[in-house]
Structure 1
Amino acid sequence: MSRTRGRRAQTLVAYAGKPIQLLLQYVRRRPVSHTLVLLAIIAAVGCALGSQFAIKNLIDALPAGRDHPATVVSAFVTIVVLLFADNLFWRVAGWISVRTFVAVTGDVRRQLFGYATGHSPTYFSAIRPGTVASRVSATANAVFAIENTVAWNALPPLLSVFGAIGMLGFVSPWMAISLLLVSVCMATLLFWLASHGSSKHKRFASDAASVDGELVDVISNMATVRMFVATQRESARLDAFLNGEMTSREASLRFLEKLRLLHAVATLLLSSALLGWVLWLWTLGRATTGDVVLVSSLGFAILHGTRDLAVALVDVTQHVARLAEAAQALLVPRDMEEPVSAPALEIRDANIDFENITFAYPGRRPVLDHFSLHIDAGQRVGLVGPSGAGKTTVLALLQRSFDPPRTSGAVTISGQRLCDVSLASVHDAIAVVPQDVSLFNRTLLDNLRYGRPDATMADVLRACEQANCRELIDSLPEGLDTIVGERGTRLSGGQRQRIAIARAFLKDAPILLLDEATSALDSESEAAIQLALDRLLAGRTVVAIAHRLSTLRNFDRIVVIQHGRLVDDGTPAELSKRAGIYRDVLLRQERRTATSAGVFE
């Protein structure tokens, strides 16, 4: 299954600048249902045109109808049958399309979501989450709108126009040929003009996505907005985005109206000429009364059909432009696409190696400079150093959030380069307890089971006891069924931290990463969480970042990093006696602790 998804992802990016091909690859996934819709529409339009010809036959049969009533009855029955079949085929097409077109939007959202989630953190740091979500929905909506517009607004008038032209050949072949040439020329001109408006439609789509992203950004930071009394400021900022969107939308719609006006004038002249031509043939005795009625009705059918077709085509052009804009923004190549056949990581022993790594974020100086570190399985290693030294980057590379260039070293677990194995298997082997715990706006149970969805209730409760959060769960009004709020805001920082530790217990991964897991907590909360962490560390390979060195006192090793290099390495006891960054920080923190204790005595 992962290989199939990988191939689809690699194929999908090729459609970034090809909206029509992107649409067709979703249509090809459901060939039978799309074909049935097409055939039903063709049959419905054929019946509608056939009824026009049947009316001609009825009118021509009327003068002798009293003497030969069978001819009139036959023409009447034919009209009734064709009208019934016309309505039946439309309903069949509508019934099938409801399921088919909706299913396609599901395919689009599913695949684009899967592709977007495969991007590296660099992609998400450079784009607003609201913009990503908006464009996924915009792409699906554009595909749905195109399918609906083509099926109900473009295809029927197109078939009607060409069918009507074909039927006019029975009255006058030259009339049919002339009308065909004029219609093709007019459609080509309109389509050419419509293509020149795609930049306006793309601009509108881009501005609309920006507004959605701005709304999500402000709403998700509403607490900060209120804290700084910035509601009016944000409203004014949003007004600027809205004005830009409204201007671009107005330009897009005005362009469409100009095309419709041009088409209206052209079709009026064409229909008048057509009616005058058949009347001239009638005066020469080369056309019957039924022919005049047929040409008149077909002329109006062509008039309305080409008008509807032109409107539909410019609407399709607008939707295609929106589809192209959204797809181009989403289907950018991934920074670190893994091979389709990448094997899973095999944990023989959970040892870790950073082998001479030099790494820089895009457009920045190197964060790690020829950095090498070996961690034995089961060792507990603390990373210490000033801000910007590269500690967080070490954890990010270990989680394979980024890949170092192949010529600039490698990260390995159990002797296997992380860039050569599947990303999912790397994440399966690692549990993380971050400083800023982010929870989903779901139940507490859903959040606890997130790393192990098949965990039993007994497993969950055991993990909660080990993480010292069983009392917390019992105190909540709905226990494990309590909704924790957006990013877990209904829980305190200490409560979220305990949930993160319980989640790590439940995942039971051989490698554990701690990223400032207690730095934001008060002393009482830190002490309670430290007990839970001590249980969690047992029997695992642990890599931890901590500004409070007291949390690392029971670790096997302390690694000191400065300017992206490993500058010291030893046990906490050894480093506390050796001049260097670790001892300087340790002494400052001890003095600060002593001062605080004196203040509260």
Structure 2
Amino acid sequence: MDVVDDGGSSRASRVRRRRRSRVLSRYAGRPIRLIWRYVARHKTAHSLVLLSVFAAVACALASQYGIRNLIDALPTGRAHPEGVIRAFTILVALIFADNLFWRIAGWISARTFVAVTGDIRREMFDYLAGHAPSFFSDKQPGVLSSRISATANAVYTVENTIAWTTLPPSLTVIGSIGLVAAVSVPMSLTLVAISGVLAFCLFLLARNGKSRHEAFARQAASVDGELVDVIGNMGLVRAFCAMLVEGRRFDAHLAAETDSRKRSLLYLEKLRLLHAIATSILSACVLGWTVWLWSEGRATTGDVVLIGSLGFSILHGSRDIAVAFVDLTQHVARLGEASETLLIPHSMPELTKATPLDVKRATVDFDNVTFAYPGRRPVLDRLDLHIEAGERVGLVGPSGAGKSTVLALLQHFYEPGSGYVRISGEDISQVTVQSLQAAISIVPQDVTLLHRSLLENIRYGRPDASDADVRRACEDAHCLDFIMAMPDGLNTVAGDRGAKLSGGQRQRIAIARAILKDSPILLLDEATSALDTASEIAIQAALERLMKNRTVVAIAHRLSTVQSFDRIVVLNRGHIVQEGPPAELAAVPGIYRDMLVRQGRRTPAPRPDLM
């Protein structure tokens, strides 16, 4: 039962993980900085994409100038064909180079942008897993998972929008203005002023629509959460004939989400309409100005074509920039909302100076521990409890007495309001999370299995266990027979949360999982609650083998589970009101004897000799 800290990972990796968590929390609600964090990890690749886009736009602009030279060379082309051939060759080369650079940018971005989304999902999941259990109790799983996906997808969309929708027209506008200036400086300056005014107006209008985009992001996440919540509890929904009720509830959420999306999109369309009207009028003015220059003899036919084409490029480019910027505003708003939810600071971060738990003797101590859930009265009040190494202690008492809280604090799911929880003499708030988890095995009342094979579920606490070790654990837990009776045996997929198994079968799998993990401290949370009487007798034998040479803390409503224990601790309203061997407590008035009477057991059963 050696406890290996962090599954063999080094202290350096723990330090890096803690440092990364502290850094990530600074990006909550700061989407631009969050994007740059991941872009900076792939600087070379992003630089190549940027340079390729620059080169492609430059070739496209040069192609328009090449068309101008070709048109001007045509009047004398029959007498001097070399000018036409040269202009034609240059134009074809520029068109080819234009397409080549776009393909290079696309090839690199296909790898780089996907790598960025992988980095985001990986770090967001790692950060999310570092939150205290209280964080998850207040959030719907679907909302959290959708926000991880929303964060990654938003960054991917932002990168694509900038690379293909925002940057090219921006460069086109800048380059076109420069080329127009070579023919008419006044026209160039006019176009600069008009484009600047249009961009500024659209920026202000887009910023005013931010609240609409954020509302849509919140409603979209809410709909995802409702879907996962209902689908994950479909058995409950059907059992209570609540399909119509849930349908109406979902319709209400969907209507709110649809309404918020409609308001967001209609606001964007208003901006696009405003810009379309402005560019239509201005395009006509630019074309008229160009023709006037030609009539005055101040521009060649090629200049007319060039300036007209560039003028359209500038005005339509500013439209594309505005449209892309408005879209970016929506995606950045969703990214900001998702990051605010996921990257709130950890309420119980692992200490930088945390050390691995060294379990020399698996003693457990609660020293003057007081604890209350937020907004509620204290569940534990100055609790003092000492459990010797190898001792079996049963926790009994009425609902709300604090039994489950004792197990939760022992696993460091919460920080005590005051006092200390110690294992082997060490304050568990000062040790690494992985080493604490490695020291404890638990068989819960509500057994949770992953949607994976039974073999993977049983190996979950000890992934390197051999097949022979797994089979022995299954035999000890009395679950090998029903597993091998399944068509796929240990490769049978458990289903969502173990839906393909009965409650008793899930508990036997949990016992096998705990046996295989082989931790020095064992927690039993009503470990036989889902078993019938015949199954309970068989499982008691498995539990006896599981509990051998371990420190055991067990919650029991069914008192037959703890009749063979060394000591019973009776809790009531956060205090220890009785404690002692089961036989002694059964002989004196009190909560324990009252519970025995209610269960029809006036005297404890003799301890079975299953050694």
| TM-score of the aligned structures, taking structure 2 as reference length | 0.95
- Are residue 226 (structure 1) and residue 238 (structure 2) matched? yes
- Deviation for aligned residue 1:212: 1.1
Partner of 2:524: 514
Aligned 8 A contact 2:593 2:602 in 1:
no
SS of the equivalent of 1:28 reads helix
CA distance in structure 2 between the partners assigned to 1:434 and 1:558 by the alignment:
19
CA distance in structure 2 between the partners assigned to 1:593 and 1:307 by the alignment:
86
- Are residue 377 (structure 1) and residue 396 (structure 2) matched? no
After superposition, what is the alpha-carbon deviation per residue over 1:389-419, rounded to whole angstroms, capped at 9, x for unaligned? 10100000001111114xx111111111111
CA distance in structure 1 between the partners assigned to 2:375 and 2:366 by the alignment:
23
- Are residue 455 (structure 1) and residue 465 (structure 2) matched? yes
- Deviation for aligned residue 1:593: 11
| Segment of structure 1 superposing worse, 391-400 or 277-286 | 277-286
Question: In structure 1, what residue type is equivalent to 2:526?
Answer: E
- Are residue 416 (structure 1) and residue 408 (structure 2) matched? no
Aligned 8 A contact 2:195 2:315 in 1:
no
- In the alignment, which of 285, 298, 301 is matched to residue 273 of structure 1? 285
- Are residue 584 (structure 1) and residue 597 (structure 2) matched? no
CA distance in structure 1 between the partners assigned to 2:190 and 2:415 by the alignment:
65
- Are residue 195 (structure 1) and residue 199 (structure 2) matched? no
CA distance in structure 2 between the partners assigned to 1:569 and 1:593 by the alignment:
16
Partner of 2:9: none
Aligned 8 A contact 1:3 1:341 in 2:
no
- Are residue 546 (structure 1) and residue 548 (structure 2) matched? no
Question: In structure 2, what residue type is equivalent to 1:570?
Answer: G
- Deviation for aligned residue 1:592: 9.0
- Deviation for aligned residue 1:26: 1.0
- Deviation for aligned residue 1:322: 1.1
CA distance in structure 2 between the partners assigned to 1:214 and 1:190 by the alignment:
36
Partner of 2:110: 98
- Are residue 436 (structure 1) and residue 446 (structure 2) matched? yes
SS of the equivalent of 1:29 reads helix
- Deviation for aligned residue 1:116: 1.3
After superposition, what is the alpha-carbon deviation per residue over 1:429-459, rounded to whole angstroms, capped at 9, x for unaligned? 1000011111111111011111111111011
| Segment of structure 1 superposing worse, 579-588 or 456-465 | 579-588
Change (3 A) 1:550 1:76: same
CA distance in structure 2 between the partners assigned to 1:85 and 1:592 by the alignment:
93
After superposition, what is the alpha-carbon deviation per residue over 1:210-261, rounded to whole angstroms, capped at 9, x for unaligned? 1111111111111121122221221111111111111111100100000001
SS of the equivalent of 2:366 reads strand
Aligned 8 A contact 1:380 1:555 in 2:
yes
CA distance in structure 2 between the partners assigned to 1:188 and 1:452 by the alignment:
60
Partner of 1:504: 514
- In the alignment, which of 394, 400, 417 is matched to residue 412 of structure 2? 400
- In the alignment, which of 15, 30, 34 is matched to residue 18 of structure 1? 30
CA distance in structure 2 between the partners assigned to 1:65 and 1:360 by the alignment:
92
- In the alignment, which of 485, 495, 498 is matched to residue 495 of structure 2? 485
After superposition, what is the alpha-carbon deviation per residue over 1:96-141, rounded to whole angstroms, capped at 9, x for unaligned? 1111111111111111111112111211111111111111111111
Question: In structure 1, what residue type is equivalent to 2:207?
Answer: S
- Deviation for aligned residue 1:364: 1.1
Partner of 2:216: 204
SS of the equivalent of 1:439 reads coil
Partner of 1:156: 168
Question: In structure 2, what residue type is equivalent to 1:244?
Answer: A
Partner of 2:120: 108
Question: In structure 1, what residue type is equivalent to 2:191?
Answer: L
- Deviation for aligned residue 1:505: 0.7
- Deviation for aligned residue 1:280: 2.4
SS of the equivalent of 1:382 reads strand
After superposition, what is the alpha-carbon deviation per residue over 1:445-485, rounded to whole angstroms, capped at 9, x for unaligned? 01111111111101101111111112122211111011121
Partner of 2:138: 126
SS of the equivalent of 2:599 reads helix
Aligned 8 A contact 2:364 2:422 in 1:
yes
- Deviation for aligned residue 1:43: 0.5
- Are residue 389 (structure 1) and residue 372 (structure 2) matched? no
- The residue correspondences of 1:524-535 to structure 2 (distance < 5 A) are 524-535=534-545
Partner of 2:565: 555
Runs of 4+ that moved beyond 6 A: none
CA distance in structure 2 between the partners assigned to 1:104 and 1:44 by the alignment:
24
Change (3 A) 1:167 1:371: same
Size of the aligned set, in residue pairs, is: 592
- The residue correspondences of 1:178-189 to structure 2 (distance < 5 A) are 178-189=190-201
For structure 1, list consecutive stretches of 5 or more residues without a partner in the other structure.
595-601
SS of the equivalent of 2:568 reads strand
Partner of 1:248: 260
CA distance in structure 1 between the partners assigned to 2:381 and 2:216 by the alignment:
45
CA distance in structure 2 between the partners assigned to 1:341 and 1:64 by the alignment:
83
CA distance in structure 2 between the partners assigned to 1:592 and 1:419 by the alignment:
41
Partner of 1:366: 378
Question: In structure 1, what residue type is equivalent to 2:63?
Answer: S
Change (3 A) 1:593 1:267: farther
| Segment of structure 1 superposing worse, 223-232 or 384-393 | 223-232
SS of the equivalent of 2:264 reads helix
- The residue correspondences of 1:239-318 to structure 2 (distance < 5 A) are 239-318=251-330
After superposition, what is the alpha-carbon deviation per residue over 1:60-111, rounded to whole angstroms, capped at 9, x for unaligned? 2222333332222111111001000000000011111111111111111111
- Deviation for aligned residue 1:178: 2.2
SS of the equivalent of 1:409 reads strand
Question: In structure 1, what residue type is equivalent to 2:26?
Answer: A
Partner of 1:597: none
CA distance in structure 2 between the partners assigned to 1:238 and 1:224 by the alignment:
16
CA distance in structure 1 between the partners assigned to 2:148 and 2:227 by the alignment:
16
| Segment of structure 1 superposing worse, 293-302 or 576-585 | 576-585
CA distance in structure 2 between the partners assigned to 1:126 and 1:593 by the alignment:
43
Aligned 8 A contact 2:397 2:570 in 1:
yes
Change (3 A) 1:280 1:592: farther
Change (3 A) 1:350 1:183: same
CA distance in structure 2 between the partners assigned to 1:496 and 1:152 by the alignment:
52
Partner of 1:495: 505
Partner of 1:599: none
Question: In structure 2, what residue type is equivalent to 1:151?
Answer: A
After superposition, what is the alpha-carbon deviation per residue over 1:280-331, rounded to whole angstroms, capped at 9, x for unaligned? 2223322222111100111121232122211111111111111111111211
CA distance in structure 2 between the partners assigned to 1:42 and 1:527 by the alignment:
76
Question: In structure 2, what residue type is equivalent to 1:306?
Answer: S
- In the alignment, which of 366, 371, 396 is matched to residue 354 of structure 1? 366
Aligned 8 A contact 1:383 1:561 in 2:
yes
- In the alignment, which of 566, 577, 585 is matched to residue 576 of structure 2? 566
Question: In structure 2, what residue type is equivalent to 1:121?
Answer: P
- In the alignment, which of 436, 441, 459 is matched to residue 426 of structure 1? 436
Aligned 8 A contact 1:271 1:303 in 2:
yes
- Deviation for aligned residue 1:591: 5.3
CA distance in structure 2 between the partners assigned to 1:198 and 1:525 by the alignment:
60
- In the alignment, which of 475, 486, 498 is matched to residue 485 of structure 2? 475
Aligned 8 A contact 2:283 2:311 in 1:
yes
Partner of 1:321: 333
- Deviation for aligned residue 1:341: 4.2
SS of the equivalent of 1:358 reads strand
CA distance in structure 2 between the partners assigned to 1:173 and 1:74 by the alignment:
28
Question: In structure 2, what residue type is equivalent to 1:435?
Answer: Q
Aligned 8 A contact 1:16 1:324 in 2:
yes
- In the alignment, which of 50, 68, 75 is matched to residue 38 of structure 1? 50
SS of the equivalent of 2:77 reads coil
For structure 2, list consecutive stretches of 5 or more residues without a partner in the other structure.
1-12, 605-611
